[in-house]
Every structure is written in structure tokens, then in C-alpha cells.
């Protein structure tokens, strides 16, 4: 019999999970091969064997964050109402951030933060949002340059999610803020005809 393989998928999963938490809560410099291996209850050899070293492990964390957000946004079905689609995408973005707080922090504000000017491949995490904005502009529902609209909406979303993850807002306040802020952002880019028919956010209970 051959020697049992110890550096398997389970070990890789532990290493990625530990590296994610360390990147989200500390600096990149504090994430060493030895520290991650110790946290994952494995050897430094496993890091090199599975990821080629620290940089490869950090890339794996970032890739997981990119793929996860892309997956959840891509799962939002497109409809005949571009504004409803954008609101649904914003809600999916917020939900993913709340459910994967460490990955969100790594991707959008941690030691290995997302660079909007960089290439992230076919699974650009915000590509579904940009595509929905493009449909809205094409149908004259929104007016403006697609990148500017996307950046405006992302800034609003990122601010809201960041405050939630910092526990600066309780859930009822965060829910109300999300509804009003996203509606306000969409109204700001709406064409005159769309603005007159755009629904107002639900009142806070």
C-alpha cells in the first residue's frame, strides 16, 4: 500500500478557512505560513504542497470570495423589470456579505481587497449587477454611464454592509436603511418618466 495522503481536500479547506479569518481580522503581514498551519492543525509542508506557499493560499481565499459572490448574484433571475432586478441583486449582495462576513472583508476591505481596475476573469463578482444596469440604460429606465451608475450603487451597498458587519446598525434600522438608500440611489439615476412611476420604499414599521 502507498503512503496515506494527509494533505487532502479537508486540510485545504481548513487552511483556507483559517487564512480567511486571519486576513479579515488582521494584516496581511500577520498571516504567515506557520501561523496558518498552526491554526489549521497541520504542517507548513501542507501549505506549500497544496497552495505553493502563502501567496497561493491568499489567492485561494480571494478566489473563493469572488466565486461565492458571483454565484449568488448570478442566481438572481432576470425579469422584465430592470429596477426590480437591481433591487433583488442589491439584496443578494447584502445577504452574501452578511452570511460570509470574513470573505466579504477580505474581498472588499481586508488585506487582499478587491481591485475594481484589476482583471478577475469571467467571474467578476459584480458583473451581474453591471449587466442589469446595462439593461436598464438600454431600456431608458436609467440614464447615465453604466460604470458611474454601478460605482454609485456599489458605494451605497458597501457602506450599508460595512456598517452592518461592524454592528453599527441593529437589524430593523439596517433593513429600513437598505430599502430607503437603494431606492434613493435608483431614483437618482432614473429617467424622468421612470422617476414618476418608481415605487417609494416601504415605510419603517
What is the C-alpha separation between 23 and 61, in angstroms, rounded? 9
Chain centroid to Cα 195, Å, comes to: 29
pLDDT at 198 (0 to 100): 56
Q: What's this model's pTM, rounded to 2 decimal places? A: 0.83
The dotted CATH code for 62-197 is 1.10.357.10
Sequence-separated (6 or more) residues with CB below 8 Å from residue 100? 65, 68
Q: Is 128 exposed, middle or buried (0-12, 13-18, 19+ CB in 10 A)?
A: buried
pLDDT in tens, 69-107: 999 999 999 998 888 999 999 999 999 999 999 999 988
pLDDT at 195 (0 to 100): 61
Phi and psi angles of residue 170, each rounded to the nearest 5 degrees, phi first: -80, 170
Q: What is the mean pLDDT of the chain?
A: 85
**Higher pLDDT residue, 118 or 170?**
170
Domain residues of the chain, as ranges?
A: 62-197
pLDDT at 116 (0 to 100): 42
* HSE-up (13 A, CA, CB side) for residue 29: 0
pLDDT in tens, 51-65: 999 999 999 998 999
Kind plus residue range of the DSSP H or E element containing 7? none
pLDDT at 16 (0 to 100): 95
pLDDT in tens, 166-189: 999 999 999 999 999 999 999 999
Amino acid at each position: 500500500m502507498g503512503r496515506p495522503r494527509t494533505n487532502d481536500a479537508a486540510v485545504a479547506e481548513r487552511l483556507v478557512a483559517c487564512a480567511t479569518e486571519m486576513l479579515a481580522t488582521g494584516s496581511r503581514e500577520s498571516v504567515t505560513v506557520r501561523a496558518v498551519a498552526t491554526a489549521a492543525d497541520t504542517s507548513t509542508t501542507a501549505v506549500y504542497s497544496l497552495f505553493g506557499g502563502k501567496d497561493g493560499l491568499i489567492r485561494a481565499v480571494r478566489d473563493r470570495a469572488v466565486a461565492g459572490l458571483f454565484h449568488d448574484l448570478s442566481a438572481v433571475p432576470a425579469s422584465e423589470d430592470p429596477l426590480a432586478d437591481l433591487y433583488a441583486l442589491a439584496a443578494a449582495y447584502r445577504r452574501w456579505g452578511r452570511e460570509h462576513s470574513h470573505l466579504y472583508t477580505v474581498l472588499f476591505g481586508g488585506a487582499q481587497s478587491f481591485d475594481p481596475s484589476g482583471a478577475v476573469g469571467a467571474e467578476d463578482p459584480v458583473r451581474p449587477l453591471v449587466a442589469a444596469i446595462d439593461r436598464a440604460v438600454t431600456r431608458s429606465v436609467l440614464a447615465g454611464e453604466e460604470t458611474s451608475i454601478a460605482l454609485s450603487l456599489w458605494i451605497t451597498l458597501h457602506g450599508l454592509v460595512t456598517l452592518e458587519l461592524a454592528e453599527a446598525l441593529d437589524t430593523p434600522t439596517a433593513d429600513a436603511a437598505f430599502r430607503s438608500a437603494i431606492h434613493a440611489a435608483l431614483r437618482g439615476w432614473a429617467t424622468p418618466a421612470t422617476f414618476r412611476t418608481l415605487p417609494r420604499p416601504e415605510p419603517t414599521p
